Amino acid sequence: QQPVQSPQAVILREGEDAVINCSSSKALYSVHWYRQKHGEAPVFLMILLKGGEQKGHEKISASFNEKKQQSSLYLTASQLSYSGTYFCGTDTGTASKLTFGTGTRLQVTL
């Protein structure tokens, strides 16, 4: 079953913050985050392993609550370059594949 992301879409002004959530109904080994710009391929941002790990990538960070099977992506002081669609990918650790979420479209404006 596909992970559910929220919100579906968000519009920010440059410099504002945003949070994107990813929720799964299955026990997870890890959560991956990818960003896809319009017409391009998804690009890997970061991975969160079970254990409540929190990681960061410049002004983008994420957390993983393995008890709730939820992950959140935090975008701080957003930049125009952050625009795109963000996908979480969940890994149950039982097969060599990811199941991607429904996606969150982020638009950063001036």
**2 versus 25: smaller Cβ distance to other proteins:** 2
**CA torsion 71→32→90→25, rounded to 10°?**
10
Interface with other proteins includes 84 (CB under 8 A)? no
- Smallest gap from Cβ 85 to other proteins, in A, equals 9
**Residues 100, 5: Cα–Cα separation, whole Å:** 10
Please give the DSSP secondary-structure letter assigned to residue 16. Answer: -
Site string for other proteins, 17-36 (x = CB under 8 A): -------------x-x----
**44 versus 59: smaller Cβ distance to other proteins:** 44
